[in-house]
Amino acid sequence: MRYAAITGWGMSVPERVLTNADLEKMVDTSDEWILSRTGIRERRMVGPDDSTTSLSVAAATQALERSGITASDLDLIVVATCTPDQFLVSEACLVQAELGGTAAAFDLGAACAGFVYALSTATQFIQAGLYDRVLVIGADTLTRFVDYSDRSTCILFGDGAGAVVLEATNEPRGTLSTVLGAHGEGYKHLYIPGWGAFVPESAGIFPEYRPFLQMNGREVFRFAVTAMGDAAVEAVERAGLEFGDIDMLIPHQANLRIIDAAARRLDLSMDKVWVNLDKYGNTSAASIPIALFEAEQAGKIKDGDNLVFVAFGGGLAWAASVIRWGGVPKHSDQPHVSETPVDEAVATAIGAERSS
């Protein structure tokens, strides 16, 4: 049996920080409202010279270094994104242009669920025996599509990229189970009208028009709580595991209340859930690989641990996987980021909500 172990991991976020205090000056909101409704304190935002490509390349470079292979060793690059820098060509080819090599390269769109969809897709190529080494990137720059006069959306999103290298192994490592699904009829609850090839004449859109993300927050929230919980539970069952076998939940970082609901469904205490949305907000397809990277850097994941990745997003789509951690780094001189434990105040807030 072939498996696809995660042997390299990396992340990148832009330098520019947008805090809740900054947003208080832009729209009618407050740090207290944002923190209590979402768990977000600040987020990162691309500057004029940043791009989905530059963030992806930085994250991928770290992941490749960690795995000890080079871009020319790769068989395939898959980029999960809903904000590619161009539609023609793919984001994956733009990344390859910087990294080098001649691997197959394509993009995959499943919004915030994109990274888990891409991980599953890449794993199939390895399990089928077609490829041995695949780079999977989750990257988005949604702040370029956020209307900073709309308080219901502008507080949520940040930019970033995360990457993993998958390598074929006979050891049971990497993806043990996957659950994917979508409710296409709900697409208008979260989308960017006018961001694509078809724009109806009735929209009266001018060439310089910049489309904005539109969202029905309550509907998305309701969908997310059910979809995340159901998908996570099903993924654990499909892997043949019990809830007690799960060492860490690494969820899509959209809203702390949604994350808490998913953790409850798996009967996990919050010390087994990696939360970093207080620092980055919702980075869409990048959020799970960024969280994975930070959890590993903080020493919270060890060889043989069972992880659950679970995500939801525009589509409306959902995805969950059980991952068995492995892939010992072959290099010791890896890039290092500081340890980032779960924000104490946020953890306390969740504890209070649970006991009430």
Indicate the residue among 156 and 310 with the shorter CB distance to ligand ACO.
156
Decide if 108 contacts 46 (C-beta within 8 A): no
Assess 264 for contact with ligand ACO (CB under 6 A).
no
Give me the least distance between CB of 194 and ligand ACO, in Å please. 16
Give me the least distance between CB of 142 and ligand ACO, in Å please. 6
Task: Report how far residue 271's alpha carbon sits from residue 245's, in angstroms, rounded to the nearest whole number.
Answer: 15
Using CB under 6 A, pick the residue from 33, 187, 195, 243 that binds ligand ACO.
33
Indicate the residue among 136 and 155 with the shorter CB distance to ligand ACO.
155
Name the residue type at position 243. F
Q: Which residue has the tokens 């890896």?
A: 334
Name the residue type at position 272. K
Indicate the residue among 146 and 342 with the shorter CB distance to ligand ACO.
146
Neighbouring residues of 341: CB distance < 8 A, sequence distance ≥ 6 = 298
Indicate the residue among 67 and 276 with the shorter CB distance to ligand ACO.
276
Assess 183 for contact with ligand ACO (CB under 6 A).
no
316 cis-preceded (ω within 30 degrees of 0) = yes
To the query of whether residue 112 is one of the catalytic residues in this protein, the response is: yes
Which span (52-60, 64-72, 99-107, 210-218) binds ligand ACO, by CB under 6 A?
210-218
Assess 181 for contact with ligand ACO (CB under 6 A).
no
Choose the catalytic residue: 112, 154, 189, 255: 112
Assess 214 for contact with ligand ACO (CB under 6 A).
no
Tell me the H-state helices in the chain: 20-24, 31-38, 52-67, 91-99, 114-127, 151-154, 217-238, 256-265, 277-280, 287-297, 344-355
Assess 152 for contact with ligand ACO (CB under 6 A).
yes
Task: Report how far residue 41's alpha carbon sits from residue 35's, in angstroms, rounded to the nearest whole number.
Answer: 6
Angle at 67 between CA 341 and CA 3, to 5 degrees: 95
Q: How many CB atoms lie within 10 A of CB 226?
A: 13
| Window 298-327: residues binding ligand ACO (CB under 6 A) | 313-314
Give me the least distance between CB of 90 and ligand ACO, in Å please. 20
| C-alpha to C-alpha distances, 261 to 81, 171, 248, nearest whole angstrom | 26, 33, 15
Rg from Cα positions in the chain = 19
Give me the least distance between CB of 72 and ligand ACO, in Å please. 34
Which span (27-35, 69-77, 97-105, 273-281) binds ligand ACO, by CB under 6 A?
27-35
Indicate the residue among 117 and 125 with the shorter CB distance to ligand ACO.
117
Q: Which residue has the tokens 């890039």?
A: 335
| Window 112-151: residues binding ligand ACO (CB under 6 A) | 112, 151
> Could you list the active site residues?
112, 252, 282
By the criterion CB under 6 A, which residues form the site for ligand ACO?
29, 33-34, 37-38, 111-112, 151-152, 155-156, 190, 215, 217-218, 220-221, 224, 254-255, 282, 284, 313-314
